[in-house]
Amino acid sequence: KMSEVSEVMTKADIKPKSMHRAKIWSDDVENLYRFQQAGYRDEVEYKQVKQVDKVECWPETGFVKKLQRRDNTFYYYNRQRECEDKDVHKVKVYVY
């Protein structure tokens, strides 16, 4: 049983090829901002670490609603935009 699990883990262990910083705000940048606040690269890494299939999102905006940090505390986000213009350049956009 253990070997199956580790096999799946290796396949799921996707690493980004490159990274650049966001220049303008978009829905994608907003969600990346939320993942990075919670201590993850992006949705891919979050799903790998937390072993979840789906991330909880706001139905109206599609933005991430809640994330579990590595220390198991939860981050809850508003349905409106949270990443301000002054923070957009801090967001890392990963390319796979």
Instruction: Please write the tens of the pLDDT for every residue from 10-41.
Output: 445 678 899 999 999 999 999 999 999 999 99
What distance, in Å, lies between the first and last C-alpha atoms of the chain? 30
Domain count, the chain: 1
Residue 73 lies in a domain: yes
Residue 62 lies in a domain: yes
Structure tokens at 23: 């220049």
49 is in which domain, residue-wise? 25-93
Is 50 exceeded by the pLDDT of residue 51?
A: yes
Q: How confident is the model at residue 43 (pLDDT cuts 50, 70, 90)?
A: very high
Average pLDDT for the chain: 89
For residues 75-82, give the mean pLDDT. 97
Residue 9 lies in a domain: no
CA 53/CA 44 separation, integer angstroms:
10
